[in-house]
Amino acid sequence: MLKFLFPNKILSLSNKIINNLIILFILLLIVGLAYSLILSPPDYIQGDSVRIMYIHVPSSFLALGCFGLIGIASIFNLVFKIKFMSLLAKSLATIGCTFSLISIVTGAFWGKPTWGIWWVWDARLTSMFILFLFYIAYIFTWKIITNFEKANKASSIIAIIGLFNLPVIKYSVDWWNTLHQPSSITLTSAPTIHYTMLIPLIIMFLALVVYALVIFLMRYKIEVIKFKLNKKK
Amino acid sequence: MLTKKVKTRINFLVIFVLLIVAIIFLVLKSLEDNVIYFFSPTEIYNKANISLEKKIRIGGLVKTNSIKKNNTIVTFIITDLKNEIVVSYNGMLPNLFAEQKGVVAEGKLKDKKYFIADKILAKHDENYMPSEVTKALENSKN
């Protein structure tokens, strides 16, 4: 199924597919924004600031998801020496980094009216900030180390270490007392979000996943081309 | 399929992973008091040697009918439904501060039952509902 990710296959991936994904993203975004900004009701205590959640939650998920994929790709890269895994991971890094920043900033905008403070150093917020730092470290390793083999090794090790931060972020709200509330959507029990708010959240989630996919495909294609050009030199 | 080289790398990775897990676990364990953002009244009650000088945070629910306002000074009771602490505070309360809602207070303990706060934060729970639904829920209760 994932055969199209092989370096030779990705180059023949037509722009038509990417363009169709962009159209799908725009449609989902229009419906999602209309639903989350206009059609959905304000919350019974938070009022209209609940609408920040529709961008905050999907961004946080994508920030964690991208790093999870980078970490797994790095394991395959180091253990089985599958070269294109590092190109895959490299293309995901800036996407995840941007989403982690969006998650932190929108969280601050929500925290001020809800908690009464922009930022606190509780377990959830701190571990999310550490994830952001891991992204920065990962991206800079590629930028600073010019030798491909060395950069590949160093960045993979950083990604594998950063992988341990993910369960800490996920379960921080259950393991310790935090100011951040526990998850509203879990696999084991019914969501504690009313369905009128769950629908816009799911649509916005799909919109941002498609967006991340589009940017990833474009970046990955460029990384493969760059890699092949360097090889020829 | 697995060559000897790959096998050594897998073994190396497993040891590496176990080491990191152990390190992270020990670090978090030793820093537990700092990782926990606030203590509940029961945790304060059970703590043996508690410093009255150090700034700490306590959290729980605001007890019903416990909020008393005297000029700018507010007193209320934080409860975790087992133990209670009286909190006094002089300043602006966050908008979402209300009875039966989560709250975190930062300040110093006067004794195990009395807390002087210099910052109050409202804690939000994981429930998201439109106000019509809460009204309907209250009506069905009565």
CA distance A117 to chain B (A): 7
Q: What is the DSSP secondary-structure string of A173-198?
A: HHHS--SSPPPS--SSS--SB-HHHH
| B21/A193 touch (CB, cutoff 8 Å), yes or no | no
Q: What is the DSSP secondary-structure string of B34-85?
A: HHS--B-HHHHHH-SS--SSS-EEEEEEEPTT--EEETTEEEEEEE-SS-EE
Mean pLDDT of B8-32: 87
C-beta of residue A130 within 8 angstroms of C-beta of residue A154: no
Condensed to tens digits (0 to 9), the pLDDT of residues B87-141 reads 999 888 888 888 888 899 999 988 888 999 998 999 988 888 887 777 777 777 6
Helix, strand, or coil here: B107? strand
Q: What's the number of CA atoms in the CB half-sphere (13 Å) around residue B81?
A: 3
Condensed to tens digits (0 to 9), the pLDDT of residues B23-55 reads 988 888 888 777 888 988 888 888 877 778 888
pLDDT at B136: 76
| B39/A177 touch (CB, cutoff 8 Å), yes or no | yes
Condensed to tens digits (0 to 9), the pLDDT of residues A68-84 reads 999 999 999 998 888 88
Which residues of A sit within 8 Å Cβ distance of B?
41-46, 50, 53, 75, 78-80, 113-117, 120-123, 160-161, 164, 168, 176-179, 181-184, 192-194, 196-197
pLDDT grade for B77, boundaries at 50, 70 and 90:
very high
Residue in B6, B17, B133 closest to A80 by CB: B6
Name A57's Cβ contacts closer than 8 Å, sequence gap at least 6: A201, A205
- Report which of A102, A101, A100, A118 is spatially closest to residue A110, judged by C-alpha positions: A118
Tokens of B10: 């897998």
- Best of B1, B47, B128, B139 to substitute, by most chain A Cβ atoms within 10 angstroms, is B128
Task: Evaluate whether ipTM surpasses 0.90.
Answer: no
| A181/B125 touch (CB, cutoff 8 Å), yes or no | yes
pLDDT at A1: 53
pLDDT at A2: 67
Nearest CA in chain B to A176: B36
Nearest CA in chain A to B24: A164
Phi/psi of residue B127, each to 5°? -95, 130
Chain B positions in Cβ-Cβ contact with residue A35 (cut-off 8 Å): none
Alpha-carbon span A180 to A148, nearest angstrom: 40
Q: Dihedral sign, CA of B116, B121, B123, B128?
A: positive
Alpha-carbon span A108 to A121, nearest angstrom: 12
Q: Tokens 């009650």 — which residue?
A: B45
| A45/B120 touch (CB, cutoff 8 Å), yes or no | no
CB pairs under 8 A between A and B: 107
pLDDT at A207: 97
**Which parts of chain A register pLDDT below 50?**
none
pLDDT at A152: 93
- Best of A44, A78, A168, A189 to substitute, by most chain B Cβ atoms within 10 angstroms, is A44
- Best of A35, A39, A43, A45 to substitute, by most chain B Cβ atoms within 10 angstroms, is A45
Mean pLDDT of B1-27: 86
Q: Which of A18-22, B4-8, B19-23 has the lowest mean pLDDT?
A: B4-8
Nearest CA in chain A to B126: A184
Tokens of B22: 């152990």
Condensed to tens digits (0 to 9), the pLDDT of residues A192-208 reads 888 888 999 999 999 99
pLDDT at A201: 93
Alpha-carbon span A64 to B55, nearest angstrom: 33
> A178-200: buried (b, 16+ CB within 10 Å) or exposed (e) per residue?
bbbbebbeeeeeeebbbebbbbb
pTM value is 0.89
Alpha-carbon span B4 to A141, nearest angstrom: 30
CA distance A146 to chain B (A): 25
